[in-house]
Amino acid sequence: MEKLHELVNEFQEQNLLLPIWLQEEKLYVVNQKKLPNTKVAIAIQNVEELASAIKDMVIRGSGALGTCGAWGLYLAAIHSGGDKKFVTRAGELLKQTRPTAVNLVHTIDEILEQMNGHGIDLIQEVEMKTIEILKRQLSFEHRLGEYGAELIGDGDSILTHCHSGALAGSGYGGRALSVIRKAHEQGKNIHVYVSETRPYLQGARITAYELKEFGIPHTLLSDNMSGHCMKQGLIDKVIVGSDRVVRNGDLVNKVGTYMHALAAKANDVPFYTATSSHTMDDTISNGSEVEIEYRNPSEVTSIQEFRIAPEDTQALYPSFDITPHELIEGIITERGVIQAPYATNLRKVMAEEDSLV
């Protein structure tokens, strides 16, 4: 546990917005549902509480969910005294919380497949693997940020959707905001248009919060304004995050992404997704095969428990949609910017990833 504490202290000294961290034998998670008005962390004492926090959207975002998988298995390991069966059951529980979030599943499977020991040996194995995963996630964010920043010109205005930032990653910038933050740090004069992202308002509540923290100029838009703004020439590029990229390059991301991609195509605005090789899914050939998570309709009829629709109003909330690969100008990764033909070029990146495991 001492080495993990040292890593957390090291991260906290790097101006990171950590979404989750270890303190003594508890995890602490920033409650993203309370942002931007209140920044508060809640204590997580066991895997069941972590699973509830993930299901209830207290913590969310592809990269952050991946690290949750590692932290959760470590918590299970130390609380069970290194019981392999207990840790395995904990992993299965966590994987069921957000079925579309492939990074969470990949991280858990990666740890479970490498567990050989029992007792203290198993705890040490999971601890060292957790450290490796946390360092890798942060490295991914910096590297994909550097590759993506090369696409951004001085004076560009960028539209982003949902929240793909530090609190959705390991603290630097997650996916899309890694690119935007790196360009800003390079001294480029950029402006970010933030879609509010109904029904959960991640863009308004969290992306705008982070951009303010980073000192990046930004303007909030309602989701249905993007086409108008593109037609008016206000937006030069669209950069979104990624919950999954499948074999042919189809993108699974927050619902509404497809709508922005269609508007971008119609107005000759380049549309990019920022992801990591760990969020690519070679087991699925195209987006139509992906299981889309449907959340509680009350999240549409209410905003944070404040009802905005009449009683008994029917509502629909698919948490994600599929953006076809033909609408994507490039896929920004920690290994460079991948371009079409995606079926060929993604396979090369996935093969490289497999060779490193």
Tens digits of pLDDT across the chain (357 residues): 788 889 888 998 898 999 999 988 899 999 999 999 999 999 999 999 999 999 999 999 888 999 999 999 999 999 999 999 999 999 999 999 988 878 899 999 999 998 888 888 999 999 999 999 999 999 999 999 999 999 999 999 999 999 999 999 999 999 999 999 999 999 999 999 999 999 999 999 999 999 999 999 999 999 999 999 999 999 999 999 999 999 999 999 999 999 999 999 999 999 999 998 888 998 999 999 999 999 999 999 998 889 999 999 999 999 999 999 999 999 999 999 999 999 999 988 777 654 433
State the sign of the Cα–Cα–Cα–Cα dihedral 91, 92, 98, 102. positive
Q: How far is 116 from 97, CA to CA, in rounded Å?
A: 26
CB proximity list for 37: less than 8 A, separation 6 or greater: none
Smallest Cα–Cα separation from 70: which of 25, 116, 20?
Answer: 20
Strands 320-323 and 191-195: unpaired
At 353 the pLDDT is 57
Q: Which amino acid is at 257?
A: T
Q: How far is 30 from 32, CA to CA, in rounded Å?
A: 6
Structure tokens at 131: 């450290």
At 263 the pLDDT is 98
State the sign of the Cα–Cα–Cα–Cα dihedral 271, 275, 281, 282. positive
Q: Please check whether residue 203 is in contact with residue 163, taking contact to mean a CB–CB distance below 8 angstroms.
A: yes
> pTM of this prediction?
0.92
243 is catalytic: yes
In 275-313, DSSP assigns E strands to 280-281, 302-303, 306-307
Burial 244-280 (b: 16+ CB within 10 A, else e): bbbbbbbbbbbbbbbbbbbbbbebebebbbbbbbbbb
Find the catalytic residue in 156, 223, 243, 281: 243
Q: Please check whether residue 256 is in contact with residue 263, taking contact to mean a CB–CB distance below 8 angstroms.
A: no
Element (H, E) at 89: helix 84-95
Smallest Cα–Cα separation from 281: which of 251, 260, 254, 324?
Answer: 251
Burial label, 302 (beta-carbon count in 10 A; 0-12, 13-18, 19+)? middle
Structure tokens at 343: 């079926």
Smallest Cα–Cα separation from 24: which of 43, 10, 47, 49?
Answer: 43
Q: Which amino acid is at 141?
A: E
Q: How far is 59 from 35, CA to CA, in rounded Å?
A: 11
Q: How far is 293 from 11, CA to CA, in rounded Å?
A: 32
Q: Please check whether residue 42 is in contact with residue 58, taking contact to mean a CB–CB distance below 8 angstroms.
A: yes
In Å, what is the CA distance from 237 to each residue of 49, 138, 146, 160, 260? 39, 25, 16, 9, 11
Q: Which structural domains are found in the chain, ordered by start?
A: 2-141 (1.20.120.420), 143-356 (3.40.50.10470)
